[in-house]
Amino acid sequence: MIKIDTEIPEQLSAIRQVNNLAFEREGEANLVDAIRNSEFFIPGLSLVALNEEDEVVGHILFSKVFIETDEDTITTIALAPMAVKPDYQGQGVGSLLVREGLKKCRALNFNDVIVLGHSRFYPKFGFLPASNYGITPPFDVPDNVFMAKELRKDSLKDISGRVRYPEAFNNV
């Protein structure tokens, strides 16, 4: 039985280990640390998946990013990164993390979420290519992997522009 909870300080090294194991490099773990130590971190939106022994087997982070339009800069949320220990992959842990994270984002009154991720995984949670909303990435990626999800109906209806990630994302 997997349970999802908000990270606590005692879990930080385990979260780092989960990211390193899942991605087989340190870039994502460094990203998590950089965001956690920035103004873009949102307490309550760094979640862990715990097994029966309360071991951290998964992690997901949502943080502030921006959509720059012709008239304004809109604050939104990015889902990045999400990691599951290899032994727990393919068992629904990632889906639990995404569902609970989206629920928490909605409860904290965020309107939408941006993700750069697998085109076969995120659409099952309602993510669509961000280009459907007139939102573009700040770098070249295939259209189907840069996605957005409205948490509130029509929250992206009249918003179009380019996503700007905080500097922490530059080192991934």
CATH class of 3-166: alpha beta
Q: Is 128 left (phi over 0), alpha (psi -120 to 50) or beta?
A: beta
Q: Where are the domains of the chain?
A: 3-166
HEC string of 116-136 equals ECCCCCHHHHCCEEHHHHCEE
| Mean pLDDT, residues 23-29 taken together | 95
pLDDT band at 170 (very low <50, low <70, confident <90, very high): confident
Residue 145 has pLDDT above 90, yes or no: yes
**pLDDT tens profile 37-68:** 999 999 899 999 999 999 999 999 999 999 99
Q: What is the mean pLDDT of residues 160-164?
A: 97
Q: Is the per-residue pLDDT at 171 higher than 80? A: no
Give tens-digit pLDDT for 66-111: 999 999 999 999 999 999 999 999 999 999 999 999 999 999 999 9
Residue 43, judged by CB atoms within 10 A of its CB (0-12, 13-18, 19+), counts as exposed
Residue 24 in this model has a pLDDT that exceeds 90: yes
The pLDDT of residue 172 is above 80:
no
Residue 71: the pLDDT is 94
77 within 8 A of 105, measured Cβ to Cβ = yes
Mean pLDDT of the chain: 96
